Amino acid sequence: MATLGEWSHCPPKSYPGSKGRGVLTVSAGRERLVAGYPESLTEQAFHYCPGCTHGIAHRLVAEALDALGLRERTIGVASVGCSVFAYNYFNCDMQQAAHGRAPAVATGIKRVLPDAVVFTYQGDGDLASIGTAEIVHAAARGENITVIFINNTNYGMTGGQMAPTTLIGQKTTTTPLGRVAENNGYPIRMAEMLATLDGPAYIARVSLHNAQAVVQAGRSIKKAFQAQLERAGFSMVEVLSTCPTNWGMTPVKALEHLEKVVAEYYRVGVLVDRTKEVAG
């Protein structure tokens, strides 16, 4: 048995579905496998900044696909933003979409291949700004697709400019003194806006600020995919995420900010759940 000083040199032990990439730790003289690697993720290292929670969101999507046995029939649609290279990370068929157009592309794929499981992975600059028309009308039509919407309250890829989700008073490169409602308008709560429509079957907002929140986020993402399997209609999970680099914070401080500031404005919870109605 390995000692505490030797564990990192041990070959990882496997468990069913882990590709042999579990992580072995030793505590109180006992070996324990604490993490495996989802089948629905590739071995490509993430390019995201230190402390960014995109990687956690990727893993949660992959774990949901694995848990439901969907990898072989899943088609993901990556749009433009920090997650533009999502096709390198998800171990399923992927399609690249133009900026903001992922819901339209996903709609086309799903209508041609109705038995496929189709999801989009989009940031707030993509979904809530240039892609507003696409997401609103996909939801209004009740397209049977799943949307993973990452909200980190800024344009992360292009240098931290103000996004439609940027909070009042938040400093960005285009609002260096802070967002002012009189000049810049108010942040858009996309989940609440889409929840007013009749097409969505499931809409939830989750956060990634601590372990408990991550577990709940995983449950909601799995539920969204289940809604698609039930052919219930449009489903979306808004994921509150960190951006330490553009927020000008350490990763730890960014998690605190996510919980105490961002999640105070964008309240987590299930806004729409019509899956029971369809199932019944």
Residue 120 confidence (pLDDT) above 70: yes
Q: If pLDDT is split at 50, 70 and 90, which confidence band does 22 have?
A: low
139-193: per-residue pLDDT in tens? 999 999 999 999 999 999 999 999 999 999 999 999 999 999 999 999 999 999 9
Per-residue b or e along 124-161, where b marks 16 or more CB atoms closer than 10 Å to that residue's CB? bbbbbbbbbebbbebbeebbbbbbbbbbbbbbbbeebb
8 CA to centre of own chain:
30
Shared domain for 114 and 251, answered yes or no, is yes
Shared domain for 69 and 204, answered yes or no, is yes
Q: Which of 107, 36, 117 is nearest to 70 (CA)?
A: 117
Shared domain for 79 and 31, answered yes or no, is no
Shared domain for 29 and 47, answered yes or no, is no
Q: Which domain holds residue 33?
A: 1-37
> In the prediction, which pLDDT does 36 show?
76
Residue 72 confidence (pLDDT) above 80: yes
Task: Tell me the CATH number at 92.
Answer: 3.40.50.970
Shared domain for 218 and 102, answered yes or no, is yes
Shared domain for 18 and 31, answered yes or no, is yes
214-268: per-residue pLDDT in tens? 999 999 999 999 999 999 999 999 999 999 999 999 999 999 999 999 999 999 9
Shared domain for 114 and 242, answered yes or no, is yes
Residue 21 confidence (pLDDT) above 70: no
The mean pLDDT value of the chain amounts to 91
Shared domain for 122 and 199, answered yes or no, is yes
The neighbouring-strand residues paired with 23 are: 35
Shared domain for 32 and 129, answered yes or no, is no
> In the prediction, which pLDDT does 227 show?
98
Longest dimension (CA), the chain: 65
Average pLDDT of span 94-109: 98
DSSP string, 213-246: HHHHHHHHHHHHHHHHHTT--EEEEEEE---HHH
Q: Classify 17 in phi/psi space as left (phi over 0), alpha (psi -120 to 50) or beta.
A: left
Shared domain for 199 and 275, answered yes or no, is yes
- Output the CA–CA distances (angstroms, integers) from residue 46 to 51, 144, 254, in the order listed: 12, 29, 19
Q: If pLDDT is split at 50, 70 and 90, which confidence band does 2 have?
A: very low
Find out whether 76 and 119 touch, Cβ atoms under 8 Å: yes
> Cα-flanking dihedrals φ and ψ of residue 78, to 5°?
-95, 140
Shared domain for 131 and 119, answered yes or no, is yes
Q: How many domains does the chain have?
A: 2
Taking residue 93's Cβ as centre, other Cβ atoms within 10 Å add up to 17
